[in-house]
Amino acid sequence: MDSHSPTVQHWRGARIREVAGAGWRCGTWSCPPHATAFREPNVSGPDAMIVFPHHPVALVHDDGPEVVANARYAITRNPRTEFRLRALCAEGDRCHWLAVPHPTAARILRELEVPLSVAGPFGGVRVPLSTELFRAQRVLFDQATDLHADPLAAEEALLALLATVVGSSVPPPVAARQLTRAAEVELSQRFRERLTLAGLASLVGCSQWHLARCFRAETGITLHRYRDQLRVRAAADRLRAGCEDLTALALDLGYASHSHFTDRFRAAFGVPPSAWRAVATRSGPTTQV
């Protein structure tokens, strides 16, 4: 894998932590909402990239439509792509990223029989992450930055993650895209709140029945399940970062009680929050920049 110690660089107000191996790079991007990267267009590097958001942002690739990037998705990005960011939370933007050279990305897509876009191998597609893939990605990026980890296992897992994500990449449907995007913006900003379908529909300017139907058609899940995924994934990241007060965490994320939070977390990840935190404590804290 030829890995080396993590490096840190600053770019347009963002802090980028990177670990590199033979033919791949991965790391963490952290950017406060007042940074230049939020005020002006940005251009990605020379490699194809997959981004795994932690904090929600609104994102535009090149001249495409604005989409919501949050912990439910991975975002693919072609080399030298112009992108613009809009903050949806006070924390700004934080994400993991995995980058590989253009030929490597194109070869993986050919082997998976995924059509190549005219612009490049990835095409700026938003890919839903299953609970299993979300969990694997978060743990894998901790392992990839651990210099004591088995390099063969880490590299193999990183490439498998890349292949799984891009193999699932299909262009999003055109119908109701703008309506769904508006609902995702509201959910990304308000997932801690006790929302109603009628209230959410009022915020995006349509009937509740039309919103529910369009949202499920484009995302594949209900509004309620989407919000719950944002809640439990936010909880998972905060537990990995060392959060100890489970009751306070449950109430902060909008759950009625500690037990309700525990039930939803167990349903999503197969273990209670305390077990997830214990594993994170044994393996070390999640990578910070």
Domains and CATH numbers, the chain: 7-167 (2.60.120.280), 177-283 (1.10.10.60)
Residues 6+ apart with CB under 8 A from 164: 133
Q: How far is C-alpha 215 from the geometric centre of its chain's CA atoms? A: 19
Q: Which of 51, 109, 54 is nearest to 81 (CA)?
A: 51
Per-residue pLDDT tens digits for 212-237: 888 887 888 899 999 999 999 999 99
pLDDT category at 110 given cuts 50, 70, 90 is: confident
Report whether pLDDT(256) > 70: yes
pLDDT category at 114 given cuts 50, 70, 90 is: low
Per-residue pLDDT tens digits for 29-54: 999 999 999 999 999 999 999 999 99
> Model pTM greater than 0.85?
no
The answer to whether 262 touches 253, Cβ cutoff 8 Å, is no
DSSP state for residue 175 in the 8-state scheme: T
3-state secondary structure of 173: coil
Indicate the burial class of 69 (C-beta count within 10 angstroms; 0-12, 13-18, 19 or more): buried
CA distance to 41, 44, 49, 241, per residue, from 100 (Å): 22, 13, 6, 27
Average pLDDT score, the chain: 85
Q: How far is C-alpha 269 from the geometric centre of its chain's CA atoms? A: 17
The answer to whether 265 touches 235, Cβ cutoff 8 Å, is yes
Residue 33 and residue 267: Cα distance in Å, rounded?
Answer: 33
Given this model, what pLDDT does residue 105 score?
77
Given this model, what pLDDT does residue 262 score?
95
The answer to whether 191 touches 223, Cβ cutoff 8 Å, is no
3-state secondary structure of 163: helix
Sign of the Cα pseudo-torsion (34, 35, 36, 41, in order): negative
- How many residues in the chain? 289
Residue 185 and residue 230: Cα distance in Å, rounded?
Answer: 12
The answer to whether 105 touches 122, Cβ cutoff 8 Å, is yes
Least confident of 51-60, 146-155, 214-223, 256-265: 146-155
